[in-house]
Structure 1
Amino acid sequence: MDWRDEGILISTRRHGETSAIIEVFTAGHGRHAGVVRGGAGRRMAPILQPGAEISVEWSARLDEHIGAYRVDPIRAHGAALMEDRAALAALGAVTGLIAAALPERASHPALFAGSRDLVAALGRAPDWPARYALWELSLLAELGFGLDLSRCAATGATGDLAYVSPKSGAAVSRAGGGPWADRLLPLPGFLCDGAPHRAAPADVAAALRLTGFFLEARLAPTLARATLPAARGRAVDAILRRAG
């Protein structure tokens, strides 16, 4: 069995004296582990950094075996983020959530494409914090926990959507919220129109509270440890500090 693909390096750990086991979020094969011979050595250390984009060739005698990877670098990101602590923390949250939430060897091409674009934007695009919030929203949708932000659950209106019901995950308009507004979660407009460049710092903060609520309520109970990776909390704290 063998295949070639491109992916984002999610994690690496030492295996024996000279090798490493890496997990890669690949375009066509999902979250997939394999052994890199010599992966614990100095030559491979700059390549095997979480968040790096790599080209991999996987081979094994049987498909159910862990197999071995041959790795070639495409683009490194971690070193470029060392001066932006918030962006580096966001990178840790992306890799941590993917490692914790995605089933092994299940393809998620749309999420992969979005993850690759986000990783490339971290610390570079001015609106990367808003893009990160949109990525969390897409993660929820990919795993079957998506929010319905298309219309008001109370009135059916498609405009002036201002809240989200914490019970249903459906949008509610300002008029539909009425006297129950204080029980609803604020909905920043950029989560509906997908325009992160329009998001003010307060919008990003509200978006992260919104996605965080549903990550905790819907995703966390399904995880092995029934809790979100600590990296997610560190990333949110760093983003909020960055925004002042």
Structure 2
Amino acid sequence: MHVAAHAIVCAIRVHGEHGAIARLMTPDDGLLAGYVRGGRSRRLRPVLQPGNIVAAEFRARTEDQLAGLTVELVRSRAALLGEALATAAIEWLTTLTAVALPEGQPYPRLHAALSAVLDAVEAAPSARGWAGAVVRYELLLLAELGFGLDLSRCVATGAETQLRYVSPKSAGAVSAGAGAAYADRLLPLPAFLVEGGDADWPQLFDGFRLTGWFLERDVLAERRGDALSARERLISRLKRLA
């Protein structure tokens, strides 16, 4: 196996006295893991930071063998590490990617979306400028893993307008009229996920509530631990701004 690509660092695990196992998101080969010799060294620790982009080269004699990995820094996001909110966003996005995706499966749309939302976190002047992109990334990841939500029409009536809720059972949208009597059993569907555009803080938190329900149930049911803790830290910090 030989893969050479620019990739996003998603997770690092110490291995042995000096090495590290890194999991990187590549454009064409999805999530790949490799052993970095000297990964704990003073030279490589700043390179192997979640969110960084590296020129990566994976080499293995067989597909079952953990690849050896060499990395060179292409783009650092170290400047964001002093910002608690940006750091929490990067931590959650990369942790979710590393935990949720199977290795060696191509997800080019997810790679492009992850790259875009990390760019938004880096460039946007305020968290409201990128929080919606985080929610959309979560929705895309659900869809790419086969747990997509149908937000195009009402699951009860087929109506394509006035969509206000999502059924937690079917993951389908529900119109205002069809869902009014059952609102306490349904999840709110914020308008920005259907109509696009900007969202205010209540809509953003409704979006996080919506995606969180299905992430916990369908993707992270057996792997909650660190992943959901990272998500909770992000949402907690966002709520301090609202």
Q: TM-score, normalised by structure 2?
A: 0.92
Query: Is 1:73 the counterpart of 2:100 in the alignment?
Result: no
Deviates more, 1:141-150 or 1:176-185: 176-185
Task: Give me the whole-angstrom Cα distance separating, in 2, the residues matched to 1:123 and 1:239.
Answer: 16
Deviates more, 1:103-112 or 1:118-127: 118-127
Contact 2:92 2:227 in 1 (8 A): no
Contact 2:216 2:224 in 1 (8 A): no
Alignment deviations for residues 77-107 of structure 1 (CA, whole Å, 9 cap, x no partner)? 2x22234312211111111111211111111
Task: Give me the whole-angstrom Cα distance separating, in 2, the residues matched to 1:84 and 1:71.
Answer: 25
Superposition pairs of residues 102-141 of structure 1, within 5 angstroms: 102-125=101-124, 126=126, 127-141=129-143
- How far apart are 1:146 and its partner, in Å? 0.8
Q: TM-score, normalised by structure 1?
A: 0.91
Secondary structure at the residue paired with 2:152? coil
Q: 2:13 corresponds to which letter in structure 1?
A: R
Contact 2:165 2:176 in 1 (8 A): yes
Q: Which runs of 5+ in 1 are unaligned?
A: none
Instruction: Return closer, same or farther for 1:84/1:193 CA change in 2, 3 Å cut-off.
Output: farther
- How far apart are 1:74 and its partner, in Å? 1.6
Superposition pairs of residues 94-243 of structure 1, within 5 angstroms: 94-125=93-124, 126=126, 127-195=129-197, 198-221=198-221, 223-224=222-223, 228-243=227-242
Give the root-mean-square deviation of aligned CA atoms.
1.8
Q: 2:112 corresponds to which letter in structure 1?
A: A
Instruction: Return closer, same or farther for 1:19/1:149 CA change in 2, 3 Å cut-off.
Output: same
Task: Give me the whole-angstrom Cα distance separating, in 2, the residues matched to 1:82 and 1:57.
Answer: 26
What's the counterpart of residue 60 of structure 1?
60
Q: Percent identity?
A: 43
Q: 2:178 corresponds to which letter in structure 1?
A: G
Contact 1:86 1:242 in 2 (8 A): no
Q: 1:242 corresponds to which letter in structure 2?
A: L
Aligned length: 239
What's the counterpart of residue 15 of structure 2?
15
Contact 2:35 2:66 in 1 (8 A): yes
Alignment deviations for residues 13-55 of structure 1 (CA, whole Å, 9 cap, x no partner)? 2333332221111111211111112222111121111111111
Task: Give me the whole-angstrom Cα distance separating, in 2, the residues matched to 1:101 and 1:54.
Answer: 21
- How far apart are 1:11 and its partner, in Å? 1.5
- How far apart are 1:224 and its partner, in Å? 4.5
Runs (4+) off by over 6 Å: none
Secondary structure at the residue paired with 1:122? helix
Task: Give me the whole-angstrom Cα distance separating, in 2, the residues matched to 1:132 and 1:240.
Answer: 15
